[in-house]
Structure 1
């Protein structure tokens, strides 16, 4: 706390150390400011003696000044719906223990199917063919046998991790297990590319932890499995939450919000529905820009694919991406979040729920706008759609001069690492208000 008083403008880069040789990494624009940033003291004062959280007291501060890095993980757990603000300290302790036990069971099952899970190692080469036949890949054998990895289970079953045991590994017949094993090497390839500019990932055990969580999640959510981009979304969780199980459930709560983006139906990916939403928003708030992009052949808005899939991880620095996420979650916060997440059959985003209550101070500002405009019984568009729209509006002059899609991509690529997260969020709120107003007027006149 004294640190905050002495220096009200501490850049968050100091909390997420970058490797010395990485000199071209974007610098954060977000700074910790006394009186604006949610501090440890302000966070603790929002709880009653029993542990009930007045989350409405913190949402505005998070939006205006972000969260101090030392408490980011625990605040995120509430923002993402891991815990009910109306629960006590003891109730949350019990929930956390139950979840940790459940993660342990999930991980043990994955270890039984593929013993490298939880071993501190991971793979980057395929281990199985589409028909379930094991692949005798020397890279896998090398990675698996590093430091003479050998367990009683491997010795008994002749699994892929013994000396030349891949030769005797039986063919897999279970389609679900085959599909899961087919993703493991892709997870490994993505893990070694994720946030490699950070000192945190110089430690092999942190890379292995990221691989473990993603491998377990791919089994846990078989409908979605694993998709490229998930490693970027999961990476901050293991940096902010020391316990692997806590990081897993925090990531799982985030995925509940955006899992539809990764779900494949036929030849299409779920994020295409969000691109369609983006198209509709731009058509309403800036018809000229939409018409020009259509003329260039970009009416499907595929050029915005990456922004929506990994929530702007490429457009801002690492520290700014965390600040942007927490601003988004604070603005979207729905007090029924935890209840909805705990419904056993619920797999949709909480925004899709019907009959939400009236706006209250326990809601985020973005959520309140929807409720005030009577949009509670319609699909609530995620704020990420309006964030992309705000980026396009910020570049509207350049985009209107674009002669082709290559120009559009170049204009947006120039944004990478340079986007002002705070400004983009503010722009998204303005566009959201404008969009709701215009849609309401159109309905009234029809």
Structure 2
């Protein structure tokens, strides 16, 4: 019996022209089996309730079309309740964006490179909380306002603020902040290696956004923190 082999999904992930040895995706888009955009939108009621049973059945048979993968996974990961309405989800979405902005600002206060459009790949602090003055570190942490170093008037010794010189360095004493800052360069190294063949990750602003997300998460979830390879799950 003839079977539809399906269409390759590679065209949905733009690869850099010079990368000619990229393995082909084994996933195939199969008509009538793969959850398409049309089937996905039809699974919602006028109010926005999702028929999760039929959706999961379709996914089990043929996977998810690449064009809707992001929004489908928001439900599969439990970000939204299938019984929620369009309006309820939009409200949740806006609340989460505000929450993330606040958390990112908190991290930016501790380390100004967060949210700056840049990221680091070299250690910026020792395990004893002493800022590293290596030229590479100073170059990487150079924001538009200057080199990132601890402020002179920081009584807590747990934040780093912009300064135009490498003087007036202070030791960071907060253990939680030290542990967090020790992971920032490792996150940067992993981000720099994330799907190098894809055009999307050629742009530094996309890499820095990924670094921001992982850096913020490592700060707020100290139980999990950051594990090498976390950038591959974003």
Q: Which residue of 2 aligns with 1:174?
A: 174
Q: Deviations over 1:362-418 (max 9, x none)?
A: xxxxxxxxxxxxxxxxxxxxxxxxxxxxxxxxxxxxxxxxxxxxxxxxxxxxxxxxx
Residues 193/155 of structure 1: CA separation in 2 closer, same or farther (3 Å cut)? closer
| 2: CA distance, partners of 1:156 / 1:117 | 15
Q: Deviations over 1:22-43 (max 9, x none)?
A: 2221101212122111111111
Q: Are 1:74 and 2:71 counterparts?
A: yes
Q: Are 1:212 and 2:209 counterparts?
A: no
Q: Which residue of 2 aligns with 1:89?
A: 86
Post-superposition shift, 1:79?
A: 0.4
Q: Which residue of 2 aligns with 1:149?
A: 144
Q: Deviations over 1:201-228 (max 9, x none)?
A: 1101011011111100100111121111
Q: Deviations over 1:65-112 (max 9, x none)?
A: 111111111100000000000111111111111111111111000000
Post-superposition shift, 1:157?
A: 3.3
Alignment of 1:25-424 (within 5 A): 25-145=22-142, 149-150=144-145, 157=151, 159=160, 161-165=162-166, 167-234=167-234
| 1: CA distance, partners of 2:84 / 2:224 | 31
Q: Which residue of 1 aligns with 2:156?
A: none
Post-superposition shift, 1:161?
A: 4.3
Post-superposition shift, 1:163?
A: 2.7
| 2: CA distance, partners of 1:226 / 1:30 | 29
Residues 225/155 of structure 1: CA separation in 2 closer, same or farther (3 Å cut)? closer
Post-superposition shift, 1:168?
A: 1.8
Ranges in structure 1 where 5+ consecutive residues have no aligned partner: 1-6, 235-446
| 2: CA distance, partners of 1:156 / 1:31 | 52
| 2: CA distance, partners of 1:50 / 1:108 | 35
User: Does the residue aligned with 1:157 lie in a helix, a strand or coil?
Assistant: coil
Q: Deviations over 1:333-385 (max 9, x none)?
A: xxxxxxxxxxxxxxxxxxxxxxxxxxxxxxxxxxxxxxxxxxxxxxxxxxxxx
Is residue 51–residue 89 contact of structure 1 (8 Å, CA) maintained in 2? yes
Is residue 19–residue 198 contact of structure 1 (8 Å, CA) maintained in 2? yes
Name the TM-score, length of structure 1 as normaliser.
0.48
Tell me the C-alpha RMSD between the 2 structures.
2.1
Is residue 151–residue 163 contact of structure 2 (8 Å, CA) maintained in 1? no
More helix by share: 1
Is residue 141–residue 161 contact of structure 1 (8 Å, CA) maintained in 2? no
Is residue 187–residue 214 contact of structure 1 (8 Å, CA) maintained in 2? yes
| 2: CA distance, partners of 1:227 / 1:93 | 31
Q: Deviations over 1:240-285 (max 9, x none)?
A: xxxxxxxxxxxxxxxxxxxxxxxxxxxxxxxxxxxxxxxxxxxxxx
